[in-house]
Amino acid sequence: MKKRLFSIAVLMIFPILLTLSGVLFAQQEKETDIKIISVQEAHELIDENNENSEFVILDVRTIEEYVTGHIPDSANINYKSPKFKEEVSKLDKEKIYLTYCRSGTRSTKSAEMMKELGFQNIYMIDGGIIAWNKAGLPVEE
């Protein structure tokens, strides 16, 4: 009789535990979502984090593209480089990253890779430097 009650209790509790583990996993996944933001939102984010050493603007274009004009104070790691993943994996995963490229394709791939590597706070500029320039926002050469 005790075995039967134990079995029934286990069968009743197991689905609850399974559901709770799924909820916890979903919450963990949600924390690492990539946030796609407009150029105006990106500009505000940059202004808000002007003095924040935990905030990094990451340009993933080639160096040739970067020198023709980039967002002020941005770092450059070329997505097309064979060492891109290795270089990105050396970055502090706890910092806040704002990524961009020319139009959004490379920064999307870069942000996905960063997410897979365990980065927690990733923003991406929708439309890349093209949208940034179209909005008349500041660049430096």
Q: Each residue's pLDDT tens digit in the chain (141 positions)?
A: 556 655 565 566 655 655 555 544 544 544 568 999 999 999 999 999 999 999 999 999 999 999 999 999 999 999 999 999 999 999 999 999 999 999 999 999 999 999 999 999 999 999 999 999 999 999 999
Q: Which domain holds residue 8?
A: 1-31
Closest to 35 (Cα-Cα) out of 95, 119, 125: 125
Q: How many Cα atoms within 13 Å fall on the side-chain side of residue 48?
A: 8
Does one domain contain both 16 and 64?
no
Task: Say if pTM beats, i.e. exceeds, 0.85.
Answer: no
What pLDDT is attached to residue 12? Answer: 65
Q: Could you say which DSSP state residue 49 is in?
A: T
Q: Are residues 57 and 122 in the same domain?
A: yes
Q: What's the confidence (pLDDT) of residue 52?
A: 97
DSSP letters for 76-106: E--TTSTTHHHHHHTS-TTSEEEEE-SSSHH
Verify that 21 and 70 share a domain, yes or no.
no
46 and 24 share a domain?
A: no
Report the relative pairing of strands 55-59 and 96-100 from DSSP bridges: parallel
Q: What is the predicted pLDDT for the residue at 27?
A: 47
Please indicate, yes or no, if residue 139 is contained in any of the structural domains: no
CATH of the domain at 109: 3.40.250.10
Q: Considering the domain boundaries, does residue 84 fall inside one?
A: yes
- Residue 20 has a pLDDT of 52
Indicate which residue of 101, 111, 122, 129 is catalytic.
Answer: 101
Residue 101 is among the residues annotated as catalytic for this protein? yes
Indicate whether 49 and 25 sit together in one domain: no
Instruction: Say whether both 110 and 89 belong to one domain.
Output: yes
Q: Are residues 5 and 44 in the same domain?
A: no
Tell me, what's the pLDDT at 2?
59
> How many domains does one find in the chain?
2
Residues 8 and 39 in one domain: no
Asked whether residue 51 falls in the same domain as residue 101, the answer is yes
pLDDT reported for residue 23: 45
